[in-house]
Chains A and B, each alone.
Chain A
């Protein structure tokens, strides 16, 4: 069938399967219908719930201000789909164009979208991870469990990992007056995502809010009591912290296990795809019927040296899903690239943190507005003489400007004056990111180090 006729047929009566019934999956499905896809649509999700929103789970839900069953995502339109919820996809037969499900069913497709996202990285010592009171936070059920623990007035909560999730959990604890200890392997919270300069501000934020923050330490073990409840955490500096609740916040693992052996270019770092969201097979050849979107995708970004970025960002999931959906039902000349500038936000200890670009690529930072000491500022990251990222603490409204600077490859350092420039912001300083070969607790952006211009493999352990 000629290409044009094929796409007409596909739009009219093709079969599209979306694996992953979350933000990216839902927005992709809505885009497909909005763009006139009239064929059959199947939504597969391992959780029993309709697509829901995750950001509130570590914020309002933990505070009891939002009920976890009220976080369902608002619908942009009806999608007329067959829902297979509570059934995980367990395998992919690329030649036969079928998705295998946990209940033994197989679902055939003409186009497949993989949007399986990530899951919380569990505590690596399985026996300790089984102890009553050891939690992770990723899903709605996780949030319900953790909220229940927090409501039960624990003596102390112990958070492993001071990335964004760990910090938000600590913040939610302090907000409710619950004693909390946070242990972080790096020298400060958020270091992997934002570097040491900003990490130092985050550390103050923790301490000023009464968090018992322990940095530069590793958790060597979790100890249970006679009935299997966690009672203490042991640290590499020899100290022991008594606790009733341990939250493991060591970042996320990409949900690609089900693709093992499928022939797709999928691994612990995600599913590689091109800028049009088409998945690569393991030989590096792009497929034409398998697409990827959301946290599980890794795609090259021209603004960042064509490095393959995987972004655990809400906005990325939406934007990439829309591009993937469009491209799934479009002929090659009508396809569009996914060129979203990375952006994410976090809310912790009453501070709104937002970043644009890829901070972890930055070698230097300068505070162009406000002041670190006041914890209200905009910091701009530079890489090889250009602006590569920006971060704001309670200064979100300026970031649009810096996003434009990133898009234009504007020069760094920032020489021009800005309102509220302080003496401390006149010169760049080293951004102070840890050695990238050392694992950190879930930076929100991962760089592969592999690009057409620089074929270099950087070893980054997949496990904590």
Chain B
């Protein structure tokens, strides 16, 4: 067997549980280009940071001329126009501004904060639901159902429709895993396509309803926006809603699960969190550095030849920004492989940076802070059943498929 290329070793499933030694190897060649038509992988903190603010870098797939299918990229098989994550300015800016005007300051400064009580209730119910079990799966029972419920409330999906909504989301999320992507006829893919159609039709109906009778929710704001940018078209609302759903789901599941896993590997912090729920703020920030839910951004390209560290990246090439490698760059962070929520210097790349920096960041932070604090407080004597746990296939949205814990009970 010939020696597999480093990037292939990174994406290979066998390295999923601990890719960090490979990232360390990757950083030794800050701009790594191993195969013709293959990606240029950028792994140092400062280079990633600088490319994220570089106006010669594009997120628009139309500029990506490198041949070949990128098995890591999001398959945009929704039949919807690209959402703002795959657009450049000015379209990106217009859509993101409208989306933001219903999500955060200055127009809706309290949107997220006002969800706090609701988030606590949802987590409490999920933890209550663990009942008398002595063995639980944190993914299936808490981390997974939580974000989808939250996004329903945020968008304005009525409670009675939530089970149906979740039934569509499940196959869509399952199909994100690259394992099944190569075969479009795989049952998972077929189910996902069917679910996308159903979900699209459902959302379209809901958006029409909100256009007629607006309520205090995001769909109403998006379709009825009266700001200087106007409102989104029906198709744009659908793209945006699906983006929020997909981008905000798996990432949050992984952040919570990686969080619990990391805390169980560093029990002193689990103990501290139990005593001081306020520590969740620092813990979540350090998690975003130490175990970022998005390991790398595989979709960028450049609209002209650019030079980086003496390497010319040609126009149209595929560029990978390996956030998880940059987050542990010893040039930037002292003792980078140590999980240390007490770090004072913590400008991580977990949410990216620049114009595409994570839209849902304030929500993801709050969800994870609340979930981890509640889990620390209520789970009695949690222990990992297996370490490492089984992982999902996906190398980009990296996280455990299950996190089985033995517990002595659930505290009230």
Contacts and interface: CB of A to CB of B under 8 A. Distances in A.
B95 to A, nearest CB: 14
Interface in B37-88: 49-50, 53-58, 88
Contacts of B56: 416-419
A370 B53 contact: no
A376 B93 contact: yes
A378 B53 CA distance: 13
Interface residues of B, number: 19
A397 B57 CA distance: 13
Given A368-B55, A398-B355, A419 B50 contact: no
B29 to A, nearest CB: 22
B174 interface: no
A80 interface: no
Contact of A401 (B55, B93, B106, B357): B55
Interface string A277-289: 0000000000000
Contact of B355 (A374, A397, A416): A397
A416 B315 CA distance: 11
30 contacts: A350-B106, A369-B55, A370-B89, A370-B90, A376-B90, A397-B53, A397-B353, A397-B354, A397-B357, A398-B53, A398-B354, A398-B355, A400-B49, A400-B50, A400-B354, A401-B50, A401-B55, A416-B304, A417-B56, A417-B303, A418-B56, A419-B55, A419-B57, A419-B58, A419-B88, A419-B303, A420-B55, A420-B88, A420-B89, A420-B90
A294 B319 CA distance: 41
Contacts of A416: 56, 304
Q: Which 4 A-B pairs have the closest CB atoms?
A: A418-B55, A420-B89, A400-B53, A419-B88
A376 B229 CA distance: 13
Provide the main secondary structure of the chain A interface. Answer: mixed
B275 to A, nearest CB: 24
A148 interface: no
Contacts of A397: 53, 353-355, 357
Contacts of B50: 400-401, 404
Contacts of A417: 56, 303-304
A374 to B, nearest CB: 8
Contact of A419 (B49, B89, B357): B89
Contacts of A398: 53, 55, 354-355
B345 to A, nearest CB: 12
Contacts of A404: 50
A424 B49 CA distance: 29
Contacts of A369: 55, 89
B53 A401 contact: yes
Contacts of B353: 397
Given A397-B355, A400-B53, A419-B58, 15 more contacts: A368-B55, A378-B55, A397-B53, A398-B354, A401-B55, A416-B56, A416-B304, A418-B55, A418-B56, A418-B303, A419-B57, A419-B88, A419-B303, A420-B89, A420-B90
Nearest to A403: B53
A57 to B, nearest CB: 19
A421 B182 CA distance: 37
B356 to A, nearest CB: 9
A371 to B, nearest CB: 8
Interface in B220-254: none
Interface in A407-448: 416-420
Contacts of B58: 419
Contacts of B354: 397-398, 400
B249 to A, nearest CB: 25
Interface in A332-381: 350, 368-370, 374, 376, 378
A401 B54 contact: yes
Scoring A378, A398, A404, A418 by chain B CB atoms within 10 A of each residue's CB, the highest score goes to A418
A23 B180 CA distance: 57
B52 to A, nearest CB: 9
A326 to B, nearest CB: 17
Nearest to B355: A397
B319 to A, nearest CB: 14
Contacts of A350: 106
A401 B47 CA distance: 11
Contacts of A419: 55-58, 88-89, 303
Contacts of B53: 397-401
A418 B50 CA distance: 15
A350 B50 CA distance: 28
Nearest to B54: A401
Interface string B334-375: 000000000000000000011101000000000000000000
Nearest to A401: B53
A260 B304 CA distance: 57
A289 B303 CA distance: 53
B321 to A, nearest CB: 15
Contacts of B88: 419-420
Nearest to B55: A418
B58 to A, nearest CB: 6
Contacts of B93: 376
Contacts of A368: 55
Interface string B146-167: 0000000000000000000000
A400 B58 CA distance: 16
Contacts of B90: 370, 374, 376, 420
Contacts of B49: 400
A369 B354 CA distance: 15
A430 B107 CA distance: 37
Interface centre among A350, A404, A419 (most CB of B within 10 A): A419
Nearest to A404: B50
Interface in B1-59: 49-50, 53-58
Contacts of B357: 397
Nearest to B356: A397
A347 to B, nearest CB: 10
A379 to B, nearest CB: 13
Interface in B294-347: 303-304
Interface string B362-406: 000000000000000000000000000000000000000000000
A416 B54 CA distance: 12
A265 B89 CA distance: 49
A418 B53 CA distance: 11
Listed residue (B53, B58, B355, B357) with the most chain A CB atoms within 10 angstroms of its CB? B53
B344 to A, nearest CB: 9
A401 B50 CA distance: 7
B98 to A, nearest CB: 14
Interface in A7-58: none
Nearest to A414: B55
Contacts of B55: 368-369, 378, 398, 401, 418-420
A401 B57 CA distance: 11
A426 B354 CA distance: 24
A369 B50 CA distance: 17
A417 B57 CA distance: 10
Nearest to B57: A419
A400 B357 CA distance: 14
Contacts of B303: 417-419
A202 B353 CA distance: 28
B300 to A, nearest CB: 11
A57 B88 CA distance: 36
A391 to B, nearest CB: 15
A397 B96 CA distance: 14
Nearest to B89: A420
Most chain B CB within a 10 A radius of its CB, from A370, A378, A416: A416
Nearest to A420: B89
A398 B93 CA distance: 13
A438 to B, nearest CB: 35
Nearest to A76: B344
Contacts of A418: 55-56, 303
B92 to A, nearest CB: 9
A399 B53 CA distance: 8
Nearest to A400: B53
